[in-house]
Amino acid sequence: MKLSVVIPVYNEKDTIHEIIRQVKDVDIPKEIIIIDDYSTDGTRALLKEITDNDIRLFFHEKNMGKGAALRTGFANVSGDIVIVQDADLEYDPKEYHNLLAPILDGRADAVFGSRFSGGTHRVLFFWHSIGNKFLTTLSNMFTNLSLTDMETCYKVFKAELIKDITIKSKRFGVEPEITAKIARKKCRIYEIPISYSGRTYDEGKKITWKDGISAIYSIIKYAFFD
């Protein structure tokens, strides 16, 4: 089994080396695919210094959003299983083994890591948690799933599954889009509790209320249309 770790990156110069170190430390055969979505804070220069053969680098020539970065990454994976990893240190790569288990033992086609089902997490914004639960509930209503955390970064797929999905969202609407499209395929989906070390906006958090509005649109759109 070979794991493909897809890391979309935008302006993460303070964390990019550390997340690469953490991912490399996980004892699983893997490739690391990093997509720089036209960072402007020096991240791009740091990535261009990397000469590690296990890391494949892709550079967008303009900022297009997380969805576009994932589309580039998924198109270039060569592993059997694919996991999405943010570069901001909010999610811990040590949990890969737990996330992969339902796929490796034949129970699942996709696994979602849930921040709201028992894992240790940093206490942060009340309204963010309400918004997340609202979006997850709305998504569940249209997909007939019972997820607790649709917006999670940690999504794991069999490679043939994610390669068979065409991603059209450019920004954070990619999360409900992927969820809707794998639900439509009647995939076996599992959830695993994960820890979460969320950031404040001063620490670099990027998602805003506008992305929430976009997510609502994506939930409704991709429930009925490709």
Going residue by residue through the chain (226 aa), what tens digit of pLDDT does each one get? 999 999 999 999 999 999 999 999 999 999 999 999 999 999 999 999 999 999 999 999 999 999 999 999 999 999 999 999 999 999 999 999 999 999 999 999 999 999 988 767 666 668 778 888 999 999 999 999 999 999 999 999 999 999 999 999 888 789 999 999 999 999 999 999 999 987 666 665 666 767 788 889 999 999 887 7
By the 8 A CB rule, do 147 and 136 touch?
A: yes
Predicted TM-score (pTM) of this structure: 0.92
By the 8 A CB rule, do 139 and 147 touch?
A: yes
Reading the block at residue 117, the tokens are: 């089902």
By the 8 A CB rule, do 38 and 60 touch?
A: yes
The C-alpha atoms of residue 131 and residue 137 are separated, in whole angstroms, by 10
Q: What's the CATH code, domain 3-224?
A: 3.90.550.10
